[in-house]
Amino acid sequence: MNHNIPNFKCFVRKSWFTKDQKDSGSFESCYAFGLQSYDDRMISFHIVTDYGAVRSRVPLSEVYLSLPSSDIEADYKQLWNCFSHNAEVVTFDYLKGRSCDVKLKNGQVVKANYLFTVDWYDNAYSEEPTDYKCAHVLVAEDGYLLAQPNNRILKWYDPNFVVSEGSAKDWKVDTEHPSVERMARWVSEQTNSYFYATATDSLPLRETAN
């Protein structure tokens, strides 16, 4: 449920702390140092203010990496609630620092930069291949955070590699969990031999198209 994250300096909308709407235009300077994933809720953070107060369960929608020049609704920032208490937080080396184009639920495309990824497990959605989603936590150019799945990110930018005019528009969702242990032909010999034989040893390798 609770996870360490790469610490980042941020601003939190003061009205989240005071519950007073007159503070909605003010922001507290903070560091975010932890993430909480709670089933069917928005991603939230553990933060510390510059006057030493710690607050937990600060929702992603109230956290900004820079003072926002514009803002969007919470359900545009994170498309789906957390799938489970069970989650892994990882910063993928390849995506670290990369920019991308994100398609929001109203069709608007915004530019953002990668921070880290939240990936859930041990729940019905994550175990169903057609429903699986992770959430890439990103910072939009306007300063607010996003948590978006792979299929809402139209393009990642890598000027050294992403140079093709190809498209993923004809991709389909996964419908199965590939496994190599569901074939009856995988049967090991019942001996104590270290280099044991299997029923596949005499079978040809998969043929490839000419």
- Convert the pLDDT of each residue in 88-109 to its tens digit: 999 999 999 999 999 999 999 9
R_g of the chain computed on alpha carbons:
22
Highest mean pLDDT among 43-52, 163-172, 192-201: 43-52
| pLDDT score of 125 more than 90 | no
- pTM, whole model, 2 decimals? 0.86
Counting residues of the chain whose pLDDT is more than 90, the rounded percentage is 71
**Averaged over 45-58, what is the pLDDT?**
98
Q: Is the dihedral of CA 152, 71, 89, 85 positive or negative?
A: negative
Amino acid identity, position 5: I
Sheet holding 2-13, edge to edge: 54-59, 44-49, 27-36, 2-13, 63-64
**Averaged over 47-52, what is the pLDDT?**
98
d(CA 38, CA 183) in angstroms, rounded, equals: 38
Mean pLDDT of the chain: 90
pLDDT confidence bin for 195, thresholds 50/70/90: confident
Structure-block tokens of residue 185: 């032909």
Please, are residues 69 and 127 in contact by the beta-carbon 8 Å criterion?
Answer: no
The pLDDT of residue 129 is: 81
The pLDDT of residue 178 is: 85
